[in-house]
Chain A
Amino acid sequence: MANVADNLTTFIQLLSIGLLNGGLFAISASGLSLIYGVQRVLNLAHGDLLVLSAYFTWLFSITLTPLLKVSPLLAVVVNVAAMAAIGSVIYFLLIDRIQSLGFEPPLLATFGLAVFLQTTMGALWTGYPKIAQNQPYSTTSLAVGSILLPQSIVIGFIAGVIGTLSLHFFLVRTYFGLAIRASSQDWEAAEFTGVNVRRVRWASFALGVALAGVGGTFYSVTSSFVPVSGTSILLILLTIVVLGGTGSVLGTLFASIVVGIIQQIGAFYFGPEVGTIATFLAFLLVLLVRPTGLFGKQRG
């Protein structure tokens, strides 16, 4: 009897960690989804931009944190600004020039950018794993009954959910959000009704990259990372975006949580690699059965 209870506790523990991790992914995934939804550009450098902001957080944690006695999570302010700026540069130098040429040139350009970022980060910060020490959060856990929840993951989850919900209401309730949604459905029609589509695309690209910055901040205090971590992060984010369906922020949130749970449970019961395989198999299956994702809107 005690054994069953133990197993159940383990299961619930895994379920909650998976859920919390999923919420953490949601914010970066919705950034990727936003960029894809508005400009039909798949940003293959998204994971590396996330890792870049994780490095910024790590730098913050070893310089400003001991100096000013502030939490490294405050780096989120710096990261959002820096990533929005970097996103704007990428948009005007690359994406804006080639997105009318079809889906291949932007894909290749962001692929090149991904390798460029990985190489640069490798040269600057070596391949040695880093993690932003986040005292006191890193070391403490919240106990709910017999279930332990590391505090940094809980904070990341809360930030992820709040961020994703704010994005949802921004897109649904504000005029600019309306313009973004209109441009993603039919940019020519949006242009005719007086929407400055180019500005919308720029803003959504910068916002999408800034969301990767938020994700990177929380990622850096919960997991250790290396310069090439971006590739595997990108694959997880892509899975989430496809599962959730582009153009649906709430779908992305839900898919993030599903992916987080599949990964935890698969990894615990069948080995770390199985979690990844299970996630990607789920991804390929959904892609085949419903190419628009679980919550995606049908497109013409």
Chain B
Amino acid sequence: MVQKTALGVMVGLVSFLVVLPITPLPSFLYITLTLYFVFITLAQSWNLVGGYSGLLNLGHSAFFGVGVIAGGLATIHGLPIYASMVIGGAAAAGLGLVMSPTFRLRADYFAIGTLVLPAVVRPALENLTGIHEIIIPRERLLFVTTSYYVGLVMMLVSLTILYLVISSRFGVALRSMREDEDASRSLGVNTFRLKLLSLLVSGFFAGLVGGFYASYLGFISPSYVFSLNFTLTPVFMTLLGGIGTFLGPIVGGLVFAGLSQVLTSLFPGSSLDLLIFSGMIIFIAVVAPRGLMPVVRRLVR
């Protein structure tokens, strides 16, 4: 019953988003909506590792940033947007492969290792490639409506694939590993391979989003795309909605989008929104560690 309602709401929401551009709304609205497509996809990609595998990845911006750089370079060299996105995803998945030795670490050390990751990867990339900014040439930039639809397609395809991944046997294996890793291992499950695969998939989608974001923004400085913002916001959205649930990042993303729009229009130019969001992270961690979804579910019943 609840699932049918959720499906109905989803279909309604998607058709609304598809037909929205026929209305004469100001273009900044579409630009803002596209940004939320970026963040919701990023949040769901984080959720696969952070929520389902139980590996607290505090360096998601490194995967995103690698995707932005690789995808941006591909776009500059003339590749179409979808190809650039896939290249961004592949590059970020490569970073996941490099990270694989850290799975031997205890869970809290994995969190520390990933926290340091953006601070290693960004200067390493900048020094190796000599790139300190990426400017997408004007003729390769997307129009607002095109960018909106590409972003929407990216979000829908990524969410669908991630949903299939989560509900597959692989997803079940991830959850059982999260609940009790030793028990999984004693049943003959190769937990190293599970963790690696989940990080590869998660990294791929973070990089895919990055590859899109390069063309969305047009001008990229690595220190921006590797910044804490691109870890903090997805993690916050996921926590808000409920970590380790498929609807969590989506509901959390919608609540976040609404909240931040209200806050920025009420207090333009101030950092009050960050203050409130950080306060909410603390509040969620202390009072509602399972996020808003259990509360919503209780209300639906």
Q: Mark A90-126, 1 if CB is under 8 A from B, else 0.
A: 0001100110010111111101111110011011000
Q: Mark B251-291, 1 if CB is under 8 A from A, else 0.
A: 00000000000000000001100110111111011100100
Docked CA distance A276–B123 (Å): 9
Stretch at the interface among B34-42, B74-82, B106-114, B137-145: B106-114
Interface size on B (CB < 8 Å)?
39
CB-based contact A235/B116 at 8 Å: yes
In the complex, A239 has a CB within 8 A of chain B: yes
Q: Which residues of A contact B93 (CB under 8 A)?
A: none
Q: Which residues of B contact A105 (CB under 8 A)?
A: 285-286, 289
Docked CA distance A119–B281 (Å): 14
In the complex, A144 has a CB within 8 A of chain B: no
CB-based contact A109/B281 at 8 Å: yes
Docked CA distance A105–B283 (Å): 10
CB-based contact A94/B278 at 8 Å: no
In the complex, B14 has a CB within 8 A of chain A: no
Q: In the complex, which of the residues B275, B277, B278 has the most CB atoms of chain A within 10 Å of its own CB atom?
A: B278
Q: Given known contacts A111-B281, A115-B278, A280-B119, is B271 in contact with A97 (CB within 8 Å)? A: no
8 A Cβ contacts from B95-130 to A: 101-102, 104-109, 111-113, 115-116, 119-120, 123-124, 126-127
In the complex, A6 has a CB within 8 A of chain B: no
Stretch at the interface among A20-28, A132-140, A164-172, A283-291: A283-291
Contact of A108 among B107, B119, B281 (CB under 8 A): B281
Contact of B278 among A119, A242, A271 (CB under 8 A): A119
Docked CA distance A106–B278 (Å): 14
CB-based contact B286/A242 at 8 Å: no
In the complex, B196 has a CB within 8 A of chain A: no
Q: Tell me the interface secondary structure of chain B in the complex.
A: helix
In the complex, A148 has a CB within 8 A of chain B: no
In the complex, B250 has a CB within 8 A of chain A: no
Q: Given known contacts A116-B279, A273-B126, is B239 in contact with A108 (CB within 8 Å)? A: yes
Output the least CB separation between B76 and chain A (Å). 24
In the complex, B33 has a CB within 8 A of chain A: no
In the complex, A86 has a CB within 8 A of chain B: no
Q: Mark A262-300, 1 if CB is under 8 A from B, else 0.
A: 000000000101101100110110011001000000000
Contact of B119 among A103, A122, A276, A287 (CB under 8 A): A276
In the complex, A185 has a CB within 8 A of chain B: no
Q: Mark A141-172, 1 if CB is under 8 A from B, else 0.
A: 00000000000000000000000000000000
CB-based contact B279/A242 at 8 Å: no
Contact of A238 among B106, B112, B239 (CB under 8 A): B112
Output the least CB separation between A243 and chain B (Å). 12
Output the least CB separation between A87 and chain B (Å). 15
Q: Which residues of B contact A284 (CB under 8 A)?
A: 102, 113, 116, 120
In the complex, A42 has a CB within 8 A of chain B: yes
Q: Given known contacts A113-B278, A115-B274, A242-B109, is B127 in contact with A106 (CB within 8 Å)? A: no
Q: In the complex, which of the residues A111, A114, A122, A271 has the most CB atoms of chain B within 10 Å of its own CB atom?
A: A111
CB-based contact A98/B286 at 8 Å: yes
Supply 5 A–B pairs (Cβ within 8 Å), ascending by A. Answer: A112-B280, A123-B271, A232-B119, A280-B119, A283-B116
Tell me the A residues contacting B by CB distance below 8 Å: 40, 42, 44, 93-94, 97-98, 101, 103-109, 111-116, 119-120, 122-123, 231-232, 235, 238-239, 242, 271, 273-274, 276-277, 280-281, 283-284, 287-288, 291
Taking A239-B116, A242-B112, A280-B120 as known contacts, 4 extra A-B pairs with beta carbons closer than 8 A to each other, sorted by chain A number, are A42-B112, A235-B119, A273-B123, A284-B116
